[in-house]
Amino acid sequence: MPNHDWYIEKFQDASAIGYRITGRLYHAVSPYQTVEIYQTAEFGNLLVLDGAIMLTEAHEFIYHDMLVHIPLLSHPHPKRVLVIGGGDGGTIREVLRHDTVERADMVEIDEEVVKASRLHLPDLAGQLDDPRVRLKFQDAVEFVREISDEYDVVLVDSTDPIGPGEGLFSSAFYRDVLRALKADGIVAVQSESPFGTKGEVGAIQAKMKAIFPLVRLYWGPMPNYPFGTWTWTYCSKSGREPEIRRPEAAAAIEAEAKYYNRDIHRSAFVLPNFMRKY
């Protein structure tokens, strides 16, 4: 057996997840974090921020389908979308599949993530130059303070609540997002692991429920993250449940998606007992 190299993330000094790598393609230290891209043996390129695995090209499709299509198809006519974080471009790529969308603003704090992704994650970042996209390199916590009644959907594609992502998990930020939404607006956020960061899932839920009239936890597999399962949280300003509002658009997305389908739209909100307590 050859002496292989591995990228192993040791999560909270208790569990580990990793990939065999065949090279490091990118390394930079930005003002915010260390940005690395590795080539894996079997799962395409691997994005790592501050030592935490963000995605592999092989499996990112699940995360992006779940973060984007559930809120966008629950909205009757999403025209203006705000993506917070998401520097790899995968979230924007999925947003642009919705032909109702006229403009997608993306506010990413770290230009270095976009630069690395344009070079080495072209299947994700390839749509960032679409004319409907406006890219801003700025702290989204500051950006949303200035905005009122402007977006149909806000998607928070953040890192974990430590480091540059920390402010994106505060009640003050959630209140600003509520104000930034139009009256029938929806926000979806990545809301951490039901196994690895149990406290976080519950904390996000509690803060959201104090601010939004309707909050629903949903979940799916995410092979790239510790323990392999992830959650997202759907919040509605109008109090409307996350039901499919545009059946034809949902069918069209389903026909092309690798993960999303209309039955999954519903079953993703069915929680196992241990997650009902969060």
Q: How far is the CB of 178 from a second copy (least distance, A)?
A: 29
Which lies closer to a second copy via its Cβ, residue 79 or residue 266? 266
Q: How many Å apart are CA 49 and CA 56, to the nearest integer?
A: 12
Does position 77 bind a second copy by CB under 8 A?
A: no
Does position 35 bind a second copy by CB under 8 A?
A: no
Buried b (16+ CB within 10 A) or exposed e, 131-166: eebebeeebbbebbeebeebbbbbbbbbbbbeebbe
Does position 15 bind a second copy by CB under 8 A?
A: yes
Does position 227 bind a second copy by CB under 8 A?
A: yes
Does position 19 bind a second copy by CB under 8 A?
A: yes
Q: How far is the CB of 5 from a second copy (least distance, A)?
A: 12
Q: Which stretch binds a second copy (CB under 8 A): 69-77, 173-181, 206-214, 250-258?
A: 250-258
For residues 19 and 7, is the Cβ–Cβ distance under 8 A? yes
Does position 250 bind a second copy by CB under 8 A?
A: no
Q: How far is the CB of 193 from a second copy (least distance, A)?
A: 9
Which lies closer to a second copy via its Cβ, residue 7 or residue 143? 7
Told to judge if 157 belongs to the known catalytic residues of this protein, a careful annotator would answer yes
Which lies closer to a second copy via its Cβ, residue 172 or residue 270? 270
Exactly one of 5, 10, 170, 172 binds a second copy (CB under 8 A); that residue is 10
Does position 16 bind a second copy by CB under 8 A?
A: yes
Which lies closer to a second copy via its Cβ, residue 100 or residue 229? 229
* Positions in 37-66 near a second copy (CB under 8 A): 40-43, 59, 61-62
* Positions in 162-181 near a second copy (CB under 8 A): none
Q: How many Å apart are CA 181 and CA 245, to the nearest integer?
A: 18
Among the options 88, 110, 157, 160, which is catalytic? 157
Which lies closer to a second copy via its Cβ, residue 210 or residue 270? 270
265's CB contacts (< 8 A; 6+ apart) are 69, 70, 73, 242, 244, 250
Which lies closer to a second copy via its Cβ, residue 50 or residue 184? 50
Q: Which stretch binds a second copy (CB under 8 A): 71-79, 92-100, 106-114, 268-276?
A: 268-276
103-108 and 133-137 strand pairing? parallel
Q: Which residues bind a second copy (CB under 8 A)?
A: 1, 4, 6, 8, 10, 12-20, 40-43, 59, 61-62, 194-195, 220-223, 225, 227-229, 254, 257-261, 263-264, 266-267, 270, 272-274, 276
**Residue positions annotated with a catalytic role:** 157
